[in-house]
Amino acid sequence: MMVAEALAERLAELLRSDPRRVVLGEDVRDGGMLGLSRRIVADAALCDRALATPLVPASLIAHAAGLAIGGHPAIVLLHSSSALLEGMAALREAARIPWQSAGAHAMPLTIVAPTGPGFGLGSEQAAVHEAALASVPGLRVAVVSLPEQAVSMLDAAVDFTHDSEPVVLLLPRSIVLAERDEPLRHEPVTPVGVAQVVRDGSRVTVLAWGDTVLPALAAVRELGVDASVVDVRSLAPIDVDTIVNVARTSGRIVIAHSGGPRHGIGAELAALLADQVILHLDGPIVRITGAERPCAPGTESLATPSQQQIADAIERVATY
Amino acid sequence: MEASPWDPEGVEVVLGPNGTPTDEACLAGLDLKALYKHLVAARCLDLRLGKMNVPAWASSAGEEAPIVLAGVLAEPSDWIYPGWRDSPGVVAVSAFEDVATMLVQSGQRPSSALRVMLPSDTLGMHLALAAGHAHAQKLDGRRGVTIALFGEGLTTTGIFHETVATAVQCDVPLVLVCKSQLWPDAAPAEAGLLGDTVSERARACGLWSRRVDGADVIAVYMALASALERARDGRGPGLVEAVVTQLHRDVPAHRDPIERMRRLLDHKGLWTQTFQDVVEADIRARLEKAFTRAVNAHEEARA
């Protein structure tokens, strides 16, 4: 089963569990570009809550925010995270409303969007916009890293029990179409804002998220080094406590992420660790990232660091 | 009385420049004195705010008819999404305390008994938010309507057209209320769009629309009531364009909606100078009390 199929099933269950919940998007009545609303429109009891809108990202996001204010938790299914940049003004507005209304208006708005390379299309369809999104005040941003956690991360992204701010859930394209031999299990739900240590170790700490977590785990296995791997998962807010505690233990840090290095989440984490862990560091903080420039179709692999590049970085830091 | 360059053409009119109604039937059932008090309250608030040096504040004197009537005609299940200039006027109807608190707290605003949303910080974004809120009301099926207020300058933006397209496609109970200036400052007439009015352009997009004289409170009332009734009955979104005149530009007295309304009351024998003095004194007293209370509460909170 593909991750996208598991998400489509779960989205239908989420609409069944809350009769006020709706999904929106340009093509959601046709199943959506990734097929994420396919199960919803196939169910006569749910299909009226798949709301097709014109392809107008700013208006679409604000429209969904209006639905959320009106008491209908809204899930927007976008064709690409680049649409979020086109709708940035609306995103900022939606994220501001819980604060601006002094808590009078929650914003149960979830936006699901594919990100990074994976479809082979290059250019914007391989671009990583996570840093721009994470810089929006009041917005929570999470990214799926492990295919088996995609469903539980969706559950976390639509849970507004304790937080009123909207959530962007990014789906790395290389993960969303990944085939799994077994049906995806429902993993325990970890709230947005919490990182996860997916491998324990004390010699080196690898901070990764999205489509670099699996290559990082493979690189550590291949090297046989005693390294911890942290799935950062939540890009806004960042789980400072978990990251600082793990980094302090090893004192040797590798940060791996897709997209270019400039002004990225990796730079933010490096600054955070320089600020809080400097006296525990035994070597430079090494960032290993994708290329800075856009990738042409067929060269998408440049957008993500390879397992070998991550392994080289770990070895360099481990032997510094 | 001769038409001035400030008098719009091609608009629906009920009250002549002297306040004489062209059709007495339009006045049936209206509490004209109560309407007049609401308008005077909005003007007094506008003058009060003008003395406060509120950052980025601009007077809405002359634009009161669509602003105040949105508040008057909204039912308890309705929501209003005002622009920054409209917000005080909409809530002036019954909640000076809200306005005072909002201004004293510089941005953040407590929840209100009135269903008036915060003005949007992003140009025109409140229109799309309002369309979404109207969609929620449609799904709820409780005949609620969302009203969004804005000026004609906003109709050149993408978000206006995106909102119209989405509202028409989703067939939501949204009423857009556009305050058009005939001769806007630093911009060509009708926002420079080749002479087409906002209502004509809205109609071309498939939106029901009416264009009325914004100095004529009764004409605005009739058009807005029709738009709200249509939306409430599930007959889709609509747009009311009220051609307004900003008073700071030395315009003829009959372009002032409050003065034209006063002339109507006078014509009907409902206005006296004593009535005017009592109305203004009452409003000013309530205003001062509200602002004093808000300032004291704010200072206590800071202490």
SS3 of B219, please?
helix
Question: Containing domain of residue A242, as a range?
Answer: 196-318
A109 at B interface, C-beta within 8 A: no
What's the confidence (pLDDT) of residue B110? 41
Task: Sort A244 into a burial class: Cβ within 10 Å, 0-12 / 13-18 / 19+.
Answer: middle
CA dist A208 and A221 (Å) reads: 15
In this structure, are A228 and A123 located in the same domain?
no
Q: How far is B116 from chain A (nearest CA, A)?
A: 11
SS3 of A306, please?
coil
**Does the beta-carbon distance from B128 to A67 stay under 8 Å?**
no
Q: How far is A21 from chain B (nearest CA, A)?
A: 10
Residues of chain B with C-beta less than 8 angstroms from the C-beta of A65 = 129, 132
Question: Containing domain of residue B297, as a range?
Answer: 24-302
For residue B47, being part of any structural domain is answered with yes
In this structure, are A83 and A161 located in the same domain?
yes
Output the domain CATH number for residue A51: 3.40.50.970
Phi, psi of A139 (to 5 degrees): -95, 135
Q: Where are the beta strands (DSSP E) in chain B?
A: 79-81, 146-151, 174-181, 208-213, 238-244
Tokens coding B67: 């602003």
> What single string gives the DSSP state of each residue in A243-277?
HHHHHHHH--EEEEESS-STT-HHHHHHHHHHHHS
How many structural domains are present in chain B?
1
Q: Which among B108, B133, B163 has the least Cβ separation from residue A59? A: B163
Model ipTM over 0.85: yes
Nearest-10 Cα torsion for B24, B25, B31, B37:
-50
Residue range B7-33, pLDDT digits in tens: 888 999 999 999 999 999 999 999 999
How many structural domains are present in chain A?
2
In this structure, are A169 and A99 located in the same domain?
yes
For residue A12, being part of any structural domain is answered with yes
SS3 of B213, please?
strand
In this structure, are A117 and A229 located in the same domain?
no
- Closest-CA residue to A234 (of A195, A196, A265): A195
Residue range A148-203, pLDDT digits in tens: 999 999 999 999 999 999 999 999 999 988 777 666 666 778 899 999 999 999 99
What's the confidence (pLDDT) of residue B293? 79
In this structure, are A7 and A147 located in the same domain?
yes
Tokens coding A35: 């097929």
In this structure, are A202 and A56 located in the same domain?
no
For residue B13, being part of any structural domain is answered with no
For residue B57, being part of any structural domain is answered with yes
A158 at B interface, C-beta within 8 A: no
Q: For residue A115, what is the enclosing H or E element? A: strand A109-115
Highest-confidence segment of A36-45, B44-53, B282-291 = A36-45
For residue B19, being part of any structural domain is answered with no
CA dist A8 and A27 (Å) reads: 14
CA dist B43 and B68 (Å) reads: 10
For residue A212, being part of any structural domain is answered with yes
- Closest-CA residue to B211 (of B237, B236, B177): B177
CA dist B98 and A202 (Å) reads: 57
CA dist A230 and A104 (Å) reads: 36
B301 at A interface, C-beta within 8 A: no
Residue range B164-193, pLDDT digits in tens: 999 999 999 999 999 998 777 655 555 555
Q: Taking a C-beta distance cutoff of 8 angstroms, is the pair A47, A15 a contact?
A: no
Residues of chain B with C-beta less than 8 angstroms from the C-beta of A54 = 162, 165-166, 169
User: Could you say which residues from 119 to 148 on chain B have a Cβ atom under 8 Å away from some Cβ of chain A?
Assistant: 120-122, 125, 128-137, 139-140, 146
Residues of chain A with C-beta less than 8 angstroms from the C-beta of B163 = 59
A101 at B interface, C-beta within 8 A: yes
For residue A191, being part of any structural domain is answered with no
What's the confidence (pLDDT) of residue B107? 46
Residue B260 pLDDT exceeds 50: yes
Residues of chain B with C-beta less than 8 angstroms from the C-beta of A64 = 132
For residue B10, being part of any structural domain is answered with no
In this structure, are A215 and A170 located in the same domain?
no
What's the confidence (pLDDT) of residue B188? 55
Output the domain CATH number for residue B100: 3.40.50.970
B273 at A interface, C-beta within 8 A: no
A119 at B interface, C-beta within 8 A: no
Give the Cβ contact number of residue A235 at 10 Å. 27
In this structure, are A38 and A105 located in the same domain?
yes
State the pairing for strand pair A234-236/A140-143: antiparallel
For residue A184, being part of any structural domain is answered with no
Residues of chain A with C-beta less than 8 angstroms from the C-beta of B116 = none
B161: confidence class by pLDDT, cuts 50, 70, 90? very high
For residue A89, being part of any structural domain is answered with yes
For residue B4, being part of any structural domain is answered with no
Output the domain CATH number for residue A264: 3.40.50.920
Return the bridge partners of A234, or none.
Answer: A142
Q: How far is B260 from chain A (nearest CA, A)?
A: 37
First to last CA, chain A: 43
CA dist A24 and B132 (Å) reads: 11
For residue B7, being part of any structural domain is answered with no
